[in-house]
Structure 1
């Protein structure tokens, strides 16, 4: 199967996820600038989640650049990732509305770690389809960034029971690690294209 429908569907779902998140930013009841103070935690959780969704979209796009075709297993692995991404608006709103309380921060971390696991499953499913010598397999290598991120998420979830603010800070650290798009695939694609000389 060609990958076009998978990409188009994924882009549509991600656009809807971002739309749902921004709708959670409720308009203040009054016209005084101080009314915005109540929105600060909601806004911070929105910004972090927007960055996370953007990171997943960006890396998903890069990963699919190395793929020519997909199969049923890839379609289901992609749906699995989209499922966990679709929960981001819920935990984002819950965390922001409750001023980064323990359980919302814990659940936010659980959704983030499940997104990371789902992305890894999609990556391995693609590699299995393409082969161990494929461009994607060579580009992904040992995936140290993915492993480090998952470990930080796990630590943040454990810490959230005693100090949710440190956990939130750790979620920011992971976002910083991934904020610059993963260049591994891009470098491999550019490196393997025939030169124009």
Structure 2
């Protein structure tokens, strides 16, 4: 099957997810009667704003990873087609744990739910790459053993960090944010340097 329709559908889902994230940002229903009260209301939704910004970037990173993975293939089989549907189902869930984390950033349970979902998405990236590696008939001309190794090493960073965030949240919830932020810094600042060819 031609991969263009799969990528177009996936892009649409990513766009909807990113749009839904902003819906959780809203001021309290009480009306401000002074600038001081308005600023206090804005400060009260700071966790929602920060969670929105962070999660927006995370979804963007997942979109880039999805793009790079499917650039490795020239056509898709049934496994990639239906696997991508389940993948998009987990991506579409992101606004829920993001809203949960924004409202309860100090609770280990909200951190675990949020990190577990992001980790599960990262693991699905690795499953896609492994499937492409084992089926040479699907591989694009740019595919190579070196690219497979690089994709696996880069792809492991996220799930490992998110798993560590889950564990550290049981010790101190705020310490886990270091491990939640680490993949974001890595993928934006350093991951592209591991690819010799743009994909």
Instruction: Tell me if TM exceeds 0.5.
Output: yes
Q: Alignment partner of 2:175: what SS?
A: helix
Aligned to 2:156: 147
Describe the shift of the 1:181–1:53 C-alpha distance in structure 2 as closer, same or farther (beyond 3 A).
farther
Describe the shift of the 1:180–1:120 C-alpha distance in structure 2 as closer, same or farther (beyond 3 A).
same
Aligned to 1:2: 2
Q: Alignment partner of 2:45: what SS?
A: helix
Aligned to 1:136: 143
Bigger mean CA deviation after superposition, 34-43 or 125-134: 125-134
Q: How far did 1:183 drift?
A: 3.4
Q: How far did 1:28 drift?
A: 4.0
Bigger mean CA deviation after superposition, 66-75 or 79-88: 79-88
- Aligned structure 1 segments of 4 or more residues deviating by more than 6 angstroms: none
Q: For the residues of structure 2 that align with 1:14 and 1:36, how far apart are their CA atoms? A: 28
Among 68, 87, 91, the alignment partner of 2:93 is 87
Describe the shift of the 1:124–1:26 C-alpha distance in structure 2 as closer, same or farther (beyond 3 A).
same
Q: Is the contact between residue 135 and residue 189 of structure 1 (CA under 8 Å) also seen in structure 2?
A: no
Q: Alignment partner of 1:187: what SS?
A: coil
Aligned to 2:128: 122
Q: Is the contact between residue 81 and residue 122 of structure 1 (CA under 8 Å) also seen in structure 2?
A: no
Describe the shift of the 1:165–1:189 C-alpha distance in structure 2 as closer, same or farther (beyond 3 A).
closer
Q: For the residues of structure 2 that align with 1:189 and 1:175, how far apart are their CA atoms? A: 20
Aligned to 1:77: 83
Among 149, 157, 162, the alignment partner of 2:166 is 157
RMSD over aligned CA atoms reads 2.4
CA deviation vs aligned residue, 1:41-93 (integer Å, no higher than 9, x gap): 11111111111100011121122223211111011221222122112110000
Aligned to 1:102: 108
Bigger mean CA deviation after superposition, 130-139 or 17-26: 130-139
Count how many residue pairs are aligned between Structure 1 and Structure 2. 190
Q: How far did 1:108 drift?
A: 0.7
Aligned to 1:18: 18
TM-score, normalising length: structure 1: 0.86
Q: How far did 1:6 drift?
A: 0.5
Q: Alignment partner of 2:135: what SS?
A: helix
